Homo-oligomer: A and B are copies of this chain.
Amino acid sequence: MDSSTNGVKPGRATLATIAEAAGVSIATVSKVVNGRQDVSPGTRAMVEDLLRQHYYTGRGGSRQPCVEVVFAGPLAAYSNEVMEGVLQAAAEPGVAIMLSKGRIGSTPTAWALGVAKAGRSAVISVSNEMAEEDATALARAGVPLVVIDPLTPAGADVISVGSTNYFGGISAAEHLLSLGHTRLAYLGGGADAGCNQARWQGFRSTLEAAGHPVTPDRVRHGTFRYAWGVAGGEQLLALESPPTAVFAGSDEIALGLIEACRRRGVRVPEDLSVVGFDDTQLAEICSPPLTVVRQPLREMGSVALRTALRLAAGAAVDSHHVELATSLVVRASSAPPSSSARVP
């Protein structure tokens, strides 16, 4: 059954179209559209369904389509990469991109209805803790949602775009092993974040298989931010037997770790190798430039936008979770362990 063409007539739907399909008067449909109270719940639900099925847009017809991109946290190097991808994919079809910080101080339902009323074709939520209720409210308001790099493993009915985090962890481990490191550590992001867990498990399993397991004191989870990189980095460097190489859960964490090293006089990469994750602008710009597991953030943004537009057009989506490939980018922050470290 193809629900996308299920009894929908060609041409823009008007109130009359919906009224006929619903077997009610135009006046009643108008009331539903305007959220008036004097409509029975049953009638309202049926009419709302039909409005959606017929892509009812109101007199204005379709204004310029607009997709809202929601960043819950502060804008950072990470968000820039994603936005560049989104903007690039939006340019050709002429879609407007709205930036927001998401629902703040209103109920999920009110927010979602506002988004729908403002005419957003879809919402892209980036790497944040969009609550279950918000996603549900959007769905009820008929606004498609695509999540980039979801913190929680993709729920059954949430469309998401991510990258091969587990494989990324493996490639970080293989790189550091190949340089000759045996005392390795993981300085991770949010303990609950699905992507963080995947990175860690990939890293861990590879090192275990190689006979150099990560000891419990050399694993720390915190947040994906710089401040945690400094704090967690200091903890790792203060260990009795500190690591000779650290895999960080994000570029920001890696930079914090490098700052912790500077404060202690630990040289990167001579005394400590550091591998980051993301490959944002930070990785190229910092000193030394960061060896990283690259996540194709721009492409993820582009894919998210194209997926959002397909959903907005009522098309079915093949896959509920698209996963793009990570790759290792070797720069100057990783090197073989110094001889003193290699020969304990």
Contact = CB atoms under 8 A, between A and B. Distances in A.
A230 to B, nearest CB: 10
Contacts of A80: 74-76, 79-80
A96 B75 contact: no
Interface in A74-96: 74-77, 79-80, 83-84, 87, 91, 96
A87 B100 contact: yes
Interface in A50-79: 59-60, 63-64, 66, 74-77, 79
A329 interface: no
A287 B286 contact: yes
A75 B84 contact: yes
A97 interface: yes
B99 A285 contact: no
A52 to B, nearest CB: 21
A10 B97 CA distance: 34
Interface in A85-118: 87, 91, 96-101, 104, 118
B75 A83 contact: yes
Interface stretch (A24-32, A130-138, A201-209, A251-259): A251-259
A87 to B, nearest CB: 6
Given A97-B98, A255-B285, A281-B76, A104 B91 contact: yes
Interface string A230-256: 000000000000000000000010011
Contacts of A180: none
A311 interface: no
A63 B114 CA distance: 12
A342 interface: no
A53 B83 CA distance: 37
A282 interface: yes
A83 to B, nearest CB: 6
Contact of A287 (B63, B83, B262, B281): B262
A91 B97 contact: no
Given A98-B97, A286-B287, A74 B63 contact: no
A165 to B, nearest CB: 23
A87 B70 CA distance: 12
Contacts of A96: 98, 100, 118
Contacts of A252: 285
A87 B101 contact: yes
Given A262-B287, A281-B76, A63 B118 contact: yes
Interface in A264-315: 281-282, 284-289
A99 B87 contact: yes
Contacts of A101: 87, 91
A99 B118 contact: no
Contacts of A262: 287-288, 332
A287 B98 contact: no
20 contacts: A60-B60, A64-B118, A74-B84, A75-B84, A83-B99, A87-B99, A87-B100, A87-B101, A91-B101, A96-B100, A97-B98, A98-B99, A99-B99, A226-B284, A259-B285, A259-B287, A259-B288, A282-B282, A282-B285, A286-B287
